[in-house]
Structure 1
Amino acid sequence: MAQVHTAIVDAGQRALHIAAAFDFVADPGFGGYNAFVGRIRDLNHGRGVLGVSYDMFDALALQRFDEIAREAVATFGPGVRVWIEHAKGRLDVGGVAVVIAVGTPHRDEAFRACRQVIEAVKHTVPIWKQEHYEDGSSEWSEGCSLCRAD
């Protein structure tokens, strides 16, 4: 069985599914499973949000997803399984934008691996996010890699 699954999912074609992620990372020898699910929220920096559009250069994003997943396997052991899926296109409030799941023999490494993967996705993958606001305007987000700590 494959240890790593990475995909970009067209939001107009299908939704991201947590159950599929957990099925992929499941193993009878694993006692630890962890997931991060990122959903579109209705408020950001005090502004009402209607939805978000995600865009990315698919080949580069998929390459980086694969590197991130394999880094987690290298760090946490050869038996670790990693799932990374990110939506592309327009999502309304409540839509699932990203699903990260890991399966490991023990809970500590499951928590640490999941955190390592989502942080690497957020900080190193070139994903562009355009927020659409209640007032009819929209803005491209700076994203985590460009945010400043004030």
Structure 2
Amino acid sequence: MSEVLADVSDRPLDPSTLDAFVWRKEAGAVVSFQGIVRDHDGGRPVVSLDYRAHPEAAGFLQACCEEVAARTGLRVAAVHRVGSLTIGDLALIAAVAAPHRAEAFAACAELVELIKSRVPIWKRQHFSDGESEWVGL
């Protein structure tokens, strides 16, 4: 099985760390996804987010990375941030390296979809009017 990097962190994320992990000399493409906290959702102004993770979230994230790596034979990495984030902060980074761009794009997209559907991390959006809501519960 290919090597993977998977982590849940309460520290700011660095995309270059994941890109460096997945890249190898035979890779002609590194594709990464950066999920960034935006200033709106559903037409409402968002001022911040809180991410909370199930105690076993890192294991679920690892399993997602291993599944994509096993199916594709590629090196993959993903890190999800938890805690309080502000607009512009990175919440999720996923990266994949492959010999060609098409397979790197496809594997990265698959990885992000698996993470979003399987990893028990929830966000609470805080709106400018003082209200908040949990997403994905």
Please classify the TM superposition score into its range, dividing by the shorter chain length. over 0.9
The corresponding residue for 1:100 is 94
Q: In 1, distance between residues paired with 2:69 and 2:8?
A: 20
* Aligned sequence identity (%): 36
1:130 partnered with 2:127: no
Q: In 2, distance between residues paired with 1:116 and 1:44?
A: 24
For residues 68-110 of structure 1, give each alpha carbon's deviation from its aligned partner in whole angstroms, at most 9, with x where no partner exists: 1111111112xx1111100000000111000000111221210
**Mapping 1:71-82, distance limit 5 Å:** 71-77=67-73, 80-82=74-76
Q: In 1, distance between residues paired with 2:87 and 2:63?
A: 30
Q: In 2, distance between residues paired with 1:102 and 1:3?
A: 11
Q: Which amino acid aligns with 2:68?
A: A
Q: In 2, distance between residues paired with 1:106 and 1:67?
A: 24
Q: In 1, distance between residues paired with 2:60 and 2:135?
A: 20
The corresponding residue for 2:3 is 3
Q: Which amino acid aligns with 2:109?
A: R
| 1:142 Cα deviation from its structure 2 partner | 2.9
Selected match of 2:103 from 92, 95, 109: 109
Instruction: Please tell me the root mean square deviation across aligned C-alpha atoms, in Å.
Output: 1.2
1:62 partnered with 2:54: no
Q: In 2, distance between residues paired with 1:81 and 1:142?
A: 29
- Unaligned runs of 5+ residues in structure 1 are 144-150
What number of residue pairs does the alignment pair up? 136
Q: In 2, distance between residues paired with 1:25 and 1:131?
A: 32
For residues 12-56 of structure 1, give each alpha carbon's deviation from its aligned partner in whole angstroms, at most 9, with x where no partner exists: xx3100111111111001112101100000010011000100001
1:24 partnered with 2:21: yes
The corresponding residue for 1:147 is none
